[in-house]
């Protein structure tokens, strides 16, 4: 623990830069605590705080620019990859998209305070075609606000931080063990949440080719678009599909076939709606494997 404190005291700005860069780059590394500790130590030594604010904000902006550029170039493919490796796939597929589609680029100012939203929101901004100047303005403001919170906390509670560091120093190796146990429990909890969510959405899918064939041959087939109105307007929809805000309002024969699609990783939004429909008594409900992206890749028609 002494070595860690010495590193922060000697290389504080580098610690802030790389911890923020890795954190905002998508790795599960802590960045807020190092910023708070660095600000507290700077306050104790009567050093200026603005370099911490500047370095942290620039590091966050660099990571966000990479996600934004990736979103503009690879879009849905990058989002699917991010949510496959995410410890919280449910936040990837639902909350993030709804928040960004409702508030647009200004939501980037609060993105870093919402768990699971930061990297996904910047990628969504790129996929949605947000302009570079608009993205840079709101994202940099959000980065400054986020880092400012840590700097202010460190400066205000520098005495409490110093007392905590002294306690950890006295505990020695025990403190390191306790921190590792806490980190392990956190990762185990997030992995359990991920496993439970993926288990809940596990069900039989229908391929794009099979859906295209059934649209021609299965009478009464209902195709439901699980995306928002903004997504439908921006990227089009499968011909004949409808958007149903409240699935409990559907009044058709429970024996009718229903296909639900979205544009999210693991077809998660579609699978969640499909499970709700099954709970309402509809027996033949299937999500579309790969969503509208797979449908479009197969060359099947999309209406706008």
**pLDDT higher than threshold 90 for residue 150:** yes
Fold classification of 208-303 (topology level): Oxidized Rhodanese; domain 1 (3.40.250)
CA distance 278 to 288: 15
CA distance 142 to 118: 10
163: Cβ–Cβ under 8 A, 6 or more apart, which residues?
none
Quote the pLDDT of residue 85.
63
Of the listed ranges 38-42, 120-124, 215-219, the one predicted with least confidence: 120-124
Quote the pLDDT of residue 116.
62
Under 8 Å between Cβ of 104 and 111? no
User: Looking at the whole model, is its pTM more than 0.95?
Assistant: no
Quote the pLDDT of residue 4.
59
Quote the pLDDT of residue 21.
94
The CA distances from residue 214 to 217, 225, 236, 252, 279, in Å, are 5, 17, 20, 18, 24
Rounded to the nearest angstrom, the gap between the alpha carbon of residue 135 and the centroid of all alpha carbons in its chain is: 17
Quote the pLDDT of residue 167.
78
Quote the pLDDT of residue 120.
82
Quote the pLDDT of residue 248.
86
- For the chain, which residues make up each domain, given as ranges? 2-200, 208-303
**pLDDT higher than threshold 60 for residue 200:** yes
156-176 confidence digits (pLDDT tens): 999 998 888 777 777 767 877
pLDDT top residue among 269 and 42: 42
Length, in residues, of the chain: 304
Query: Comparing C-alpha atoms, which of 174, 119, 180, 146 is closest to residue 36?
Result: 146
Quote the pLDDT of residue 269.
82
Residue 287 neighbours by CB distance under 10 Å: 28
Under 8 Å between Cβ of 220 and 251? no
Q: Give the model's confidence band at 230: pLDDT under 50 very low, under 70 low, under 90 confident, else very high.
A: confident
Of the listed ranges 53-57, 139-143, 262-266, the one predicted with least confidence: 262-266
């Amino acid at each position: 623990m002494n070595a860690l404190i010495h590193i922060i005291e000697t290389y504080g700005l580098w610690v802030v830069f790389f911890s923020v860069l890795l954190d905002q780059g998508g790795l599960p590394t802590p960045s807020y605590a190092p910023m708070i500790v660095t600000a507290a130590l700077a306050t104790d030594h009567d050093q200026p705080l603005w370099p911490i604010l500047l370095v942290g904000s620039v590091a966050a902006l660099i990571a966000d620019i990479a996600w934004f550029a990736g979103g503009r170039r690879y879009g849905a493919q990058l989002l699917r990859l991010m949510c496959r490796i995410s410890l919280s796939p449910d936040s990837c597929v639902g909350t993030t998209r709804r928040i960004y589609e409702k508030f647009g680029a200004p939501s980037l100012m609060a993105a870093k305070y919402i768990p699971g939203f930061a990297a996904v929101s910047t990628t969504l901004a790129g996929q949605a075609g947000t302009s570079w100047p608009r993205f840079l303005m709101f994202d940099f403001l959000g980065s400054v606000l986020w880092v400012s919170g840590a700097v202010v906390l460190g400066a205000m509670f520098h005495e409490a931080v110093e007392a905590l560091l002294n306690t950890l120093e006295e505990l020695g190796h025990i403190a390191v063990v306790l921190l590792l146990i806490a980190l392990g429990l956190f990762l185990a909890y997030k992995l359990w949440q991920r496993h439970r969510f993926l288990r809940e959405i596990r069900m039989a899918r229908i391929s794009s080719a099979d859906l295209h064939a059934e649209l021609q041959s299965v009478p009464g087939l209902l195709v439901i678009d699980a995306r928002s109105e903004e997504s439908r307007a921006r990227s089009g929809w499968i011909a004949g599909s409808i958007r149903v805000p409240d699935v409990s309002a559907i009044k058709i024969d429970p024996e009718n076939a229903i296909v639900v699609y979205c544009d999210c990783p693991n077809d998660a939004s579609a699978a969640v709606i499909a499970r709700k429909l099954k709970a309402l008594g509809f027996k033949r409900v299937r999500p579309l494997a790969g969503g509208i992206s797979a449908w479009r890749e197969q060359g099947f028609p999309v209406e706008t």
